[in-house]
Structure 1
Amino acid sequence: MRWRIGVVAAAVAAVVVLVAAFLVVPRIGTDAVDRSHPAVLQSLRELSQFHAAAGEYQVVLDIEHDVRYVPDVLAGQRTLFVAAGSVNAYVEFGDLADGALKVSPDGESIEVALPTPVLDKPNLHQERCYVFAQERGLVDRLAALVETRDQQPFYVAAEQKIADAARESGLVGRAEESARKMLSGMLGGLGYRVRFTDAG
C-alpha cells in the first residue's frame, strides 16, 4: 500500500516539475522583439494634407506701359493696382513612406521624418482687388471709350507678387513648427517621446 502511495506521489511531483519547466524556461531563454509599424502611420495618411499655417498679404502694383518715342500725354498708361490674397502652407502626409515613423526598440520614443511644408497657390480676394489710380495718354483715354481693358494681367502679376511675399515671409517655417507641435501632441498622447528628422 505504501509502495503505491509513493509511486503516485512521485508521478504528481514529476508533473509539477514539468509544468513549472514549461512556464519558467520560455521566460528565461527567449526574447520578444516587436517590429510592428505604428498604427498612427495609417491615420496620418488618411489626414493627407495638414494645413499648418496661412498668411494674408496685400500688394500694390505700379505698372507702366510706355510707347517708344511718343510723349506720355499722347500714349501710354500707368496703373496702380491694389491686390489682397492669402496663401496656405500645408504638409503632405498622404505619400508618407513606411519608414517615415520609426519606433525605438524599447517602444518609448519615435522618430518622425517630417515632409517639408508646401506653399499653396495664392488665393486672391476679388472684393479687395481694384485699380487705385490710373494715368493715360490721350490715345489710351479715347480707346477706353470704345473698349474695356483686360485686367487679367494685373491679377496674374498680383498672384506672383503674393507668392514671392509668402516665400520671403517665413510662412514655410511657421508651418513646419505648427506641424511639429501637432505631431508632438498626438504622438506624445500615445506615450512616445518624439524626435524629428528631415524627410529629405
Structure 2
Amino acid sequence: MKAVALGAAALALLLVGTRLSVLPGIGDFFGDTTKDRSGPAVLKSIQDMSSYEAASGNFQVVVDLEKDAKFLPDAIRGTRTLYVGAGTVGASVDLGKVASDGVVINKERTTADIRLPHAVLGKPALDPDRSYAVSKQRGFLDRIGDFFSDNPSSEQAVNKLAAQHIGEAAKDSGLTGRAEKNTTNMLKGLLGSLGFDRVTVHYGPAPK
C-alpha cells in the first residue's frame, strides 16, 4: 500500500507540475530551461565579391499545400498546410565581368562609355521572423507518425514552395531594371566626382 501511495503521489506531482504555470511564483520551480550547446561556427570558404547589389525586393506569399493519399479520406491520411512566406530577392550587376573593351575613355578623361552585363536576380532568402504557419491539418495516421518521429520534410516542402513562388514573382517585378538604373546612377555619380562630364552606361553584349 505504501508503494502504491508513493506512486500515486509522484504521478499527482507530475501532473500538477505541468499546470503550475498558472500559479504565480511556483511555475518557475518546475519551468523548463533552454541551453544552447551548439558548437562554434566554422568558416568554410571566402569568396571575393565583384557584384554590386543595386536593388532588393521584399515579397510575401501565402502557400496552400495539400497532400492526399489514394483511396483514403483526408481524415485518415493527408495533410494541408497554410503558410505565409516572407523573404527578399536581390538584383545585382557583376562589375567583374566587364570586357577589356567595355570601358572607353577619351584622352581628356571627360567622357566615359561603359558596357556592363545585365543585372541578375539572386536566390530568394526567406525571413524566418516574418514567415509562419497559419494552420496545419493532418489525418489520423499522419498525427501518429509525427508523434513517434520528427518529420521536417513537410516544413521544408512549404519553405521550398514559398521560395519558388517568391522567385517567380521577382522575375515579373521589374527588379533587374531597377538595379540597372541604380547602377547607372551610382557610376555617373562616382565618375562625375572624378571630373567626368558625360558618362554613358550600356547593358548587354556589344552589338556586332
Q: Same fold (TM over 0.5)?
A: yes
1:170 counterpart = 2:174 = yes
RMSD between aligned residues = 2.0
Cα deviation for residue 95 of structure 1 reads 2.4
| Counterpart contact for 2:97–2:117, Cα < 8 Å | no
Alignment of 1:82-161 (within 5 A): 82-104=84-106, 107-150=109-152, 151-161=155-165
3-state SS of paired residue (1:145): helix
1:181 counterpart = 2:185 = yes
Question: Which amino acid in 1 is paired with 2:53?
Answer: H
Cα distance in 2, alignment partners of residues 124 and 107 from structure 1: 45
- Uncovered stretches (5+) of structure 1, i.e. residues with no partner: 1-45
Cα distance in 1, alignment partners of residues 204 and 68 from structure 2: 49
1:63 pairs with 65, 81, 91, which one? 65
Question: Which amino acid in 2 is paired with 1:183?
Answer: L
Cα distance in 2, alignment partners of residues 136 and 166 from structure 1: 32
| Counterpart contact for 2:51–2:94, Cα < 8 Å | yes
Q: TM-score, normalised by structure 1?
A: 0.70
| Counterpart contact for 2:97–2:116, Cα < 8 Å | no
Q: What corresponds to 2:76 in structure 1?
A: 74
| Counterpart contact for 1:100–1:199, Cα < 8 Å | no
Cα distance in 2, alignment partners of residues 75 and 137 from structure 1: 4
The answer to which of 141-150 and 160-169 deviates more is 141-150
Cα distance in 2, alignment partners of residues 124 and 147 from structure 1: 26
The answer to which of 139-148 and 79-88 deviates more is 139-148
Q: After the TM superposition, which segments of 4 or more aligned residues of structure 1 sit over 6 Å from their partners?
A: none
Percent identity at matched positions?
A: 37
Cα distance in 2, alignment partners of residues 108 and 92 from structure 1: 24
Cα deviation for residue 54 of structure 1 reads 0.7
Cα distance in 2, alignment partners of residues 132 and 175 from structure 1: 34
Q: Which has the higher Rg, Structure 1 or Structure 2? A: 1
Cα deviation for residue 141 of structure 1 reads 2.1
How many residues are matched?
155
Cα deviation for residue 161 of structure 1 reads 1.5
| Counterpart contact for 2:112–2:200, Cα < 8 Å | yes
Cα distance in 1, alignment partners of residues 102 and 176 from structure 2: 20
Q: TM-score, normalised by structure 2?
A: 0.68
1:195 counterpart = 2:200 = yes
Deviations 1:166-199 (A, max 9, x none): 1111111110110011111122232231222233
